[in-house]
Structure 1
Amino acid sequence: MNQPYPNEREPNETRQTATYLSKRLAQAGLRPVTRFGQNFLIDLNLIDLIARSAELKPNDVVFEVGTGVGSLTAKLADAAGAVLSIEIDANLHQLASEELSGRPNVLLLKGDALRNKNALRDDLMGHIRDAIARIGDDARFALVANLPYNIATPLISNLLHETPYPDVIVVTIQKELADRMVAQPGTKDYGALSVWVQSVCRASIVRVLSPKVFWPRPKVDSAIIRLDAEPEKRAAIPDLKYFHDTVRALFFHRRKFLRSVVISAMKGRLDKAEVDQVLASLGHGETSRTEQLTVTELQQLVEALRQAEAKKATS
């Protein structure tokens, strides 16, 4: 970093603008890094909306991915009991550390939130569990962030597998991705992600955002989405990993008839006659397609396949 972060604070009205951010980064010899998916939200009202939409309380532990310059982080820290924020850009991590100094309820980490596309960074959940333990039994876990586009899907999908999993998620993501999360059967956006998210959460789009509220401007619209955990629905799925993996396999060839898709997904585990027996027991005909099945119907199908596979393994 070429120059120290300026000590003088500008009024709130001027701090979160493209001009302010560009000057601020230029003073530090920085500029947005494309490979990190850096698009700063420059409308302070929308930053407020993200924080408000999570309805944070003093017993909340908040996880933020993409600290940036710390604008949203500060608002989260004002409302929540503890904030864990991670930033992959070492220079932005340093800027945010200076901005957020003196806040004992904020822990800033440097690096990637993901170890790979199928797993979170090894120490993240340990930090979150530690914070929850400090707050007590009534602690609530939330993910609140302006997410980089390139990690939104694996991050959310992986977090929904974790223990603890977020009670609430409020994030800014690509609108196309938000549309997939809330999509209904038979629509073009309905797929494995729709089923996975809706099987464990209640999903709703809070606000659609145009590219002009970001700097640099992305080429697509964004959306603030809220996901609320539904523990009863989650508990009704006996094996989350089996369910998630099987649903993804069933949507791999979404336009094909359901029978051929299931046969392909269960290759080496169930033969055609066994697949036909499962489908017949659930009333799925020859013209059924995966994309037409409701979330509940897919849950029933995957569980029937799991039980048939388990029965075969013990026979």
Structure 2
Amino acid sequence: MPKFQNQTISFLTKRFREVGLRPVSKHGQNFLIDMNLLDMIVSSADLGPQDVVLEIGTGTGSLTTRMAAAAGHVITVEIDEHLFTLASEELFEFDNVTMLQFDVLKNKNAFRPEVMETIKEKLAEIPDSRLKLVANLPYNVATPILSNLLRSEITPFSMTVTIQKEVAERIIAVPSTKDYGALSIWMQSQCRCEIVRIMGPGVFWPRPKIDSAIIHLQVDDELRGRIPDREFFHHFTRAIFFHRRKFLRSVLMSAFKEQLTKTQVDEVIAENGLQPDARAEQFTPDEVLAMSEMFRLKLQAVG
């Protein structure tokens, strides 16, 4: 078995100096230097030979090598061409790793088509395969990556990632708290969400200015099956939290001003016993889903 790379500060600074590199802040390059935490990520992801792993942010390949030793296949994407070259030297002996060099996102709402095509190809090569996202995610793209993967044509089995602590807290937040919002509802309506570990800045190089967290998101097919139109639900959830402190009636009027009259919005509110002076943050994910369906059906009815 290949020897795992010990991604220490001394190793990183030496390797970066050898090739004339410096971490690029705009790409969210903060390298995890605690090997036990790298092992914890892999352990939490519970990888096996049927798993196709998507890693976003190859870095130097330290997490990639650990995953490749356990998974059926690893697709790893790195935006930085210099890091891509550096990681290629560490990963050349693995025949179950596919390296891609570009921005994983086509835009803030979608993955690049090449990523999804590669995932399809590798899933097709492994019997009873399943997709898992496992990554030390760059901070600047963590939210769109998690959100968009649940909107994509390929449903992940699970997602185990390091992200900003504040984003992790938003994901697991409960109603009527400051962290609760559209992201909480979107993730909890489809996944069982658990923070595995909180991490201080000292376990990364360069040190970020904020705390981080390892979070495990287990996709629940039963939960997802209750959402008839995920795209509508996604837009609805974002719309009602656009002005989170406004009353529900005002928010709904604004969200549907191009599609429904004020009278029609009031009809839905009255027919379904909604409190017009409630606020979106008071509703559970189940209640928001039910509300979303009320309006989706109303829109169908009015044509």
TM > 0.5 fold call = yes
User: Which residues of 2 match residues 210-289 of structure 1 at below 5 A?
Assistant: 210-289=200-279
2-structure distance, mates of 1:125, 1:35 = 24
Residue segments in structure 2 that go unaligned for 5+ positions in a row? none
In the other structure, the counterpart of 1:163 is: 153
The residue identity in structure 1 corresponding to 2:28 is: G
Partner of 2:187, secondary structure, is helix
**Is the contact between residue 181 and residue 197 of structure 1 (CA under 8 Å) also seen in structure 2?**
yes
Q: Which moved further from structure 2: 55-64 or 27-36? A: 27-36
2-structure distance, mates of 1:15, 1:235 = 42
User: Which residues of 2 match residues 27-46 of structure 1 at below 5 A?
Assistant: 27-46=18-37
Deviation at 1:15, TM superposition (A): 2.5
Give TM-score scaled by structure 2 length.
Answer: 0.97
Identity across matched positions, percent: 53
2:143 pairs with one of 153, 162, 170: 153
User: Which residues of 2 match residues 79-228 of structure 1 at below 5 A?
Assistant: 79-136=70-127, 138-228=128-218
What is the aligned length?
302
Give yes or no for the alignment of 1:312 onto 2:286. Answer: no
**Is the contact between residue 44 and residue 160 of structure 2 (CA under 8 Å) also seen in structure 1?**
yes
Question: What root-mean-square deviation, in Å, do the aligned CA atoms of Structure 1 and Structure 2 show?
Answer: 1.3
2-structure distance, mates of 1:286, 1:123 = 45
In the other structure, the counterpart of 2:61 is: 70
In the other structure, the counterpart of 1:6 is: none
Residue segments in structure 1 that go unaligned for 5+ positions in a row? 1-8
CA displacement 1:184-235 (0-9 Å, x = unmatched): 1000000001111111111110000000000000000000011111111112
2-structure distance, mates of 1:55, 1:269 = 46
CA displacement 1:96-143 (0-9 Å, x = unmatched): 11100121100000010001111111211110111110002x111100
Partner of 2:295, secondary structure, is helix
Partner of 2:228, secondary structure, is coil
**Is the contact between residue 139 and residue 163 of structure 2 (CA under 8 Å) also seen in structure 1?**
yes
2-structure distance, mates of 1:127, 1:15 = 29
Deviation at 1:34, TM superposition (A): 1.1
The residue identity in structure 2 corresponding to 1:260 is: S
2-structure distance, mates of 1:219, 1:27 = 27
Give TM-score scaled by structure 1 length.
Answer: 0.94
User: Which residues of 2 match residues 22-61 of structure 1 at below 5 A?
Assistant: 22-61=13-52
**Is the contact between residue 15 and residue 21 of structure 1 (CA under 8 Å) also seen in structure 2?**
no
In the other structure, the counterpart of 1:3 is: none
Structure 1 outlier segments of 4+, above 6 Å: none
Q: Which moved further from structure 2: 266-275 or 83-92? A: 266-275
**Is the contact between residue 247 and residue 276 of structure 2 (CA under 8 Å) also seen in structure 1?**
yes
